[in-house]
Amino acid sequence: MTTLARAIRAALLTADPRQKCFATRQVARDWRSDKLAFVFDVPMPDQPAWPDAPELLPPAQMPKRRKGGSERGRIALWHALAHIEFVAIDLALDMAGRFGAEMGEDFVSDFLAVAADEAMHFALLARKLENLGSHYGALPAHAGLWEAAHATRGDVAARLAVVPMVLEARGLDVTPATLERVAASGDDNGARILKRILDDEIRHVGFGTKHFLACASSRGCEPESYWQELVKSHFRGFVRPPFNDSARLAAGLSRGFYATIAY
């Protein structure tokens, strides 16, 4: 029987986007079917395998996306979203593979489910790009999305605090406005994709919050102040309003976590 760690590592080291999606969904299916031994006998890579394209640029060098309904602007939007979801596959796989031994089988089940969702999201967005006459890799992409994972590779609480509870929670804030613009432009297919992603991301943030609360409890820490301490120590960016308080609360993330450090 293949070990869980080896299966996850193999998916992380799959560079081709389509094959990474297939591999990720297979890992999740095999885990649900009890085909993988709960054994962590190989380390996770410091960085996953990625395709040669898109070109990854530092945030400051990323071209500004033009707002509006031009074809170029639409392609840039969907490409940026596809890249976020592609990296999110690796973030979820690494979460399960790097911290699963410490956190247990329920933790692994949750984050392999997240990884499978992110693979599905990427596939929907890649197909959207193709329908617009483009493809994933046609434009430069943000190089900084993996930095948060690398910076928190030594502590599961820090990883949970930053990735699901800051980065993914930010998606809850910004996706509704994007969905409204897409729907107003008459793009019903695009609006359905974004609605599916938003609904799934609420659940993903909920998984992160659930396991963070358990981690804080096991360490004898007050959750809100502990989260704030970890974010200040491990997150380079800012926790900025406006917030989608209702979606965050649905994910278990109350204002007590983020209101006092937002600016």
> Six-digit token pair at 120?
């599905």
Domain for residue 52, yes or no?
no
Domain for residue 58, yes or no?
no
User: Is residue 154 located within the same domain as residue 109?
Assistant: no
User: Is residue 117 located within the same domain as residue 136?
Assistant: yes
Residue 261 domain boundaries: 146-263
- pLDDT in the model for residue 1: 87
Give the chain's domain count: 2
Domain for residue 44, yes or no?
no
For 100-124, what is each residue's pLDDT tens digit? 999 999 999 999 999 999 999 999 9
User: Is residue 7 located within the same domain as residue 94?
Assistant: yes
User: Is residue 33 located within the same domain as residue 98?
Assistant: yes
* pLDDT surpassing 80 at residue 43: yes
CA dist 47 → 148, 149, 153, 202, 224 (Å) = 12, 9, 11, 26, 30
- pLDDT in the model for residue 206: 98
For 134-167, what is each residue's pLDDT tens digit? 999 999 998 888 999 999 999 999 999 999 999 9
Which of 124, 143, 162 terminates a domain? The answer is 143
User: Is residue 187 located within the same domain as residue 212?
Assistant: yes
User: Is residue 26 located within the same domain as residue 3?
Assistant: yes
Mean pLDDT over 35-58 rounds to 96
User: Is residue 188 located within the same domain as residue 173?
Assistant: yes
* pLDDT surpassing 90 at residue 60: no
User: Is residue 240 located within the same domain as residue 226?
Assistant: yes
Please provide residue 141's backbone torsions phi and psi, each rounded to the nearest 5 degrees: -140, 165
- pLDDT in the model for residue 59: 78
* pLDDT surpassing 90 at residue 62: no
Domain for residue 243, yes or no?
yes
Which of 110, 143, 176 terminates a domain? The answer is 143
User: Is residue 160 located within the same domain as residue 261?
Assistant: yes
* pLDDT surpassing 90 at residue 217: yes
- Percent of the chain scored above 90 by pLDDT? 89
**Across the chain, what does the average pLDDT equal?**
95
* pLDDT surpassing 70 at residue 67: no
- pLDDT in the model for residue 65: 64
Domain for residue 60, yes or no?
no
